[in-house]
Amino acid sequence: MSELPLLARKLDEADELASLRDRFVLDDVVYLDGNSLGALPAHVPDRVADVVRRQWGELRIRSWEESGWWTAPERIGDRIAPLVGAAPGQIVVGDSTSVNVFKAVVAAIRMADAGRDELLVDASTFPTDGYIAESAARLTGRTLRPVTPAEVPAALGDRTAAVLLNHVDYRTGRLHDLPALTAAVHAAGALAVWDLCHSAGALPVGLDEHGVDLAVGCTYKYLNGGPGSPAYLYVRKGLQDRFDSPLPGWNSHAEPFGMSPSYTPAAGAPRGRVGTPDILSLLALEAALDVWDGVPVAAVRAKSLALTDFFLRCVAEYTEPGRVECVTPERHAERGSQIALRCPDAGEVMKRLIARGVVGDFRHPDVLRFGFTPLYVGFRDVERAARVLGEELA
């Protein structure tokens, strides 16, 4: 009989983050899809009910001032800042990830030196980032050049205006070297734009420490903000005076209620705003971020690596040799917080796993993807998931 169930129990008993599980609404399902949609923090429904019934229902228009609606994008940005290694005043929350990628890429091109006519984009990126980059290149008269992150240093040159990269590959879970790649981009005189969708809330990012120019990220994955919760935009403080948004709106005007026909951008992070904030989803996100109170990102990263290591060990014991292939790097320095396994019948296998209470997801054409959210996933969850996977693969 395998020793893994007993080991899983011991690891859970020693887990310093185990009590955080009680902050979420969970059931008997092993939920390994938090890298697509995070679980619901237990206190969020009551908070949202107050926003709807009292702030909207009773205070109505007064809530823009009395309930702090107007300042929410910057206030919530400052809540996210420590999770991605940023000082206050550099993140604004609002709009979708796609919209923020567009703002960041076009603004980066506009800040680049004259004569830099090439935009590099991660060739393995989530498709939308590629679509946005292609459109931004056409709109700004630049040439788009897709390259893999490993090819970036050699591809950089005096023509490079900006580089759009993913911190963690959405399909394989590969963690790219943000410090080294950012330094290489800067050495070439270009600007670095990072997509943090699969890293924020799962591992340390260090935006300020590593001099990242602009960054974007969603909030519904490891930050548990809820379906469609607004994304965020980071603009390094030293660049904020030069940040020229391609989507100027009344919310980013220096005098938004002056209703001037000419545009004067606001100072600081509010330059990243566009139109009226999505208050209901924005305040649901603000409530969800409470689960991070007192939680060190370094501890989350340590548990993430322990969970994924243990999962790989369990998969190796419970599955027949050669039945699945791990496409996620083994080295911790190259691994995000997910494990991707390749097998020919992945789509059907994932359906059977979900039917048995193990929820991951399938990525075309042959990848089983499992996300490990350390705030609520335990080692017994991991052992059960691998055991059920082994049974279904057999």
The answer to whether residue 221 is catalytic is: yes
The answer to whether residue 15 is catalytic is: no
Residue type, 84: V
Tokens at 16, concatenated = 């310093």
**Beta carbons of 64 and 185 less than 8 angstroms apart:** no
DSSP-assigned letter for residue 36? T
Classify 204 as helix, strand or coil: coil
Catalytic position from the list 24, 31, 102, 126: 126
Residue 309 burial class via C-beta count within 10 angstroms: exposed 0-12, middle 13-18, buried 19 and up: middle
Tokens at 49, concatenated = 């009910």
Tokens at 294, concatenated = 């007192």
**Beta carbons of 168 and 155 less than 8 angstroms apart:** no
Catalytic position from the list 220, 370, 372, 376: 220
Catalytic position from the list 23, 271, 335, 369: 369
- Nearest alpha-carbon partner for 92 in 245, 211, 227, 202: 245
**Beta carbons of 55 and 286 less than 8 angstroms apart:** no
The answer to whether residue 169 is catalytic is: no
Catalytic position from the list 221, 303, 335, 384: 221
What distance in Å separates the CA atoms of residue 110 and residue 244, rounded to the nearest whole number?
A: 7
Catalytic position from the list 195, 213, 361, 381: 195
Rg over CA atoms, the chain = 22
What distance in Å separates the CA atoms of residue 178 and residue 168, rounded to the nearest whole number?
A: 10
Residue type, 304: S
Peptide bond into 204 cis (omega under 30): no
Looking at the chain, the number of H-run helices and the number of E-run strands are: 12, 13
- Nearest alpha-carbon partner for 198 in 99, 97, 287: 97
The answer to whether residue 126 is catalytic is: yes
Classify 144 as helix, strand or coil: strand
Residue 93 burial class via C-beta count within 10 angstroms: exposed 0-12, middle 13-18, buried 19 and up: buried
Catalytic amino acids?
126, 195, 220-221, 369
